[in-house]
């Protein structure tokens, strides 16, 4: 006989043998799961088979990702159960839990938790945590405001106001990327030799737009991977370690490389990039030249991402640790890119108006690295030691 019928039969027998032969009390199995998780599907199927044999067993499916309330409840449950390595599926029945799924043991474990909950007074841990997180009713005559409206981001909770500040800081540090800045300076130098002002503006703006689109695509892809993986402790620890390493790198660069000179791209590769941009700018057809500049901008900036020291990955991980509507995640990414491109756009516009090449000073480069290094070190420490502070 298979294990599942035995487990279901055990639940029914233990429920029927309660003192006084009273009907089995209703028990709720809370299942935290995530789309694309095969073990979650197995856990749900095992509980559904138990529920088919036990009409007083209620199953509550709590999918991680779509709603901030469920994500917050999952984190609260993880803290209450003192789980060191949270993952899905997480099944909580009463105050007992089963993490992960093993076909040989988990169905029997579920049946045991149900029987235990019916054998004695049983506290519903998840229900208690949900009730504790419910906001208290406002006092008579008062209407406390817990959110503020930010342009492009919608309603933002007052407790999350640090997120816009961190977005500005990290995007500003990432924006002053000397390995990408020298490419912009190279293009500006070539455009200043073009007689057609319309062509100058079009090719420069195409370069900035292609750079922003490439960054948005890369960061969106990484954000979706992090949201799909959910609360995986090893990923958070890895990104936290990356943030610590990036912070140390930025502080070292501020001391050893105060002028912000790019050390990633070798001289030979720089010459090839310069020649490629020169050929594109000289193309007679403006649409062809614009497409070529856009393609080069994407290719070069993908290579130069290494000079960002992982800041985009760190930011998206930090963003995923907040409970936000999905549209707000992309709003923050767009906000990040606006700040990221601000210095590039300013340098380009000033150069086009004055017809003189300009560059950011070494003092600004050093200051941005000092600030960025300190912020990244703090973020890395929080991610590794107190991740709940970012939720």
187: nearest Cα among 366, 368, 352, 363: 352
Q: Angle between the 178-191 and 197-229 helix axes, to the nearest 10 degrees?
A: 160
- Rounded to a whole number, what is the largest CA-CA distance in the chain? 97
Distance between CA atoms of 96 and 79, rounded to whole angstroms?
Answer: 14
Q: Which two tokens stand for residue 36?
A: 């694309």
All residues at 6 or more sequence positions from 258 whose CB lies less than 8 Å from its CB, including other chains: 362, 363, 365, 366
Catalogue all structural domains in the chain, each as residue range(s) with its CATH number.
3-133 (3.40.30.10), 150-390 (no CATH)
The pLDDT value recorded for residue 369 is 65
- What's the pLDDT at 366? 64
| Under-50 pLDDT residues of the chain | 1-22, 138-153, 156-161, 361
* pLDDT for the residue numbered 179: 62
pLDDT of residue 90: 94
Nearest to 269 by CA among 293, 305, 219, 303: 303
The predicted structure's pLDDT at residue 215: 87
pLDDT, tens digit (0-9, with 9 covering 90-100), for 83-142? 888 888 999 999 999 999 999 999 999 999 999 998 888 889 999 998 887 655 544 444
What integer pLDDT is reported at residue 87 of this predicted model?
84
Number of helical H runs and strand E runs in the chain: 14, 6
Q: How far apart are the first and last CA of the chain?
A: 46
User: Per DSSP, what are the bridge partners of residue 98?
Assistant: 91
User: In the prediction, which pLDDT does 335 show?
Assistant: 93
| Percentage above 90 pLDDT, the chain | 21
What pLDDT score does 12 carry? 46
For residue 138, the 8-state DSSP code is: P
Structure tokens at 339: 């700040």
Strand bridging mode 57-63 / 27-33? parallel
pTM here is: 0.52
153-171 pLDDT, tens digit per residue, is 455 444 444 788 888 888 8
Secondary structure E strands in the chain: 27-33, 57-63, 90-93, 96-99, 147-150, 154-157
3-state secondary structure 78-106: HHHHCCCCCCCCEEEECCEEEECCCCCCH
């Amino acid at each position: 006989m298979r294990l599942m019928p035995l487990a279901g039969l055990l639940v029914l027998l233990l429920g029927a043998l309660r003192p006084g032969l009273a009907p089995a009390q209703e028990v709720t199995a809370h299942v935290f799961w995530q789309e694309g998780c095969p073990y979650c599907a197995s856990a749900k199927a095992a509980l559904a088979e138990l529920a088919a044999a036990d009409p007083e067993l209620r199953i509550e499916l709590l999918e991680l990702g779509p709603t901030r309330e469920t994500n917050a409840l999952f984190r609260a449950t993880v803290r209450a159960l003192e789980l060191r390595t949270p993952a899905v599926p997480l099944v909580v029945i009463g105050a007992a839990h089963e993490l992960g799924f093993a076909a040989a043991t988990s169905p029997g474990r579920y049946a045991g938790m149900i029987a235990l909950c019916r054998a004695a007074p049983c506290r519903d841990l998840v229900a208690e945590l949900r009730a504790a997180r419910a906001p208290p009713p406002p006092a008579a005559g008062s209407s406390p405001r817990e959110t503020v409206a930010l342009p492009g981001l919608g309603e933002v909770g007052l407790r999350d106001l640090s997120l816009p500040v961190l977005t500005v800081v990290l995007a500003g540090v990432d924006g002053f990327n000397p390995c990408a800045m020298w490419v912009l300076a190279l293009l500006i130098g070539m455009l200043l030799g073009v007689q057609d002002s319309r062509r100058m503006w079009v090719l420069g703006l195409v370069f900035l737009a292609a750079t922003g689109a490439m960054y948005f695509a890369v960061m969106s892809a990484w954000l979706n991977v992090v949201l799909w993986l959910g609360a995986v402790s090893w990923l958070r620890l890895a990104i936290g370690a990356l943030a610590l390493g990036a912070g140390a790198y930025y502080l070292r660069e501020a001391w050893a490389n105060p002028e912000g000179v790019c050390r990633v791209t070798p001289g030979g590769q720089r010459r090839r990039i310069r020649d490629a941009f020169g050929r594109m700018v000289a193309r007679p057809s403006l649409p062809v030249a614009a497409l070529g500049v856009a393609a080069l901008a994407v290719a070069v900036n993908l290579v130069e991402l290494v000079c960002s020291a992982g800041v985009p990955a760190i930011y998206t991980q930090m963003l995923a640790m907040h409970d936000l509507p999905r549209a707000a995640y992309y709003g923050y990414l767009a906000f990040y890119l606006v700040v990221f491109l601000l210095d590039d756009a300013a340098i380009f516009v000033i150069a086009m108006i004055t017809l003189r090449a300009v560059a950011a000073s070494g003092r600004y480069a050093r200051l941005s690295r000092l600030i960025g290094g300190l912020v990244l070190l703090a973020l890395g420490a929080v991610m590794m030691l107190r991740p709940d502070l970012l939720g």
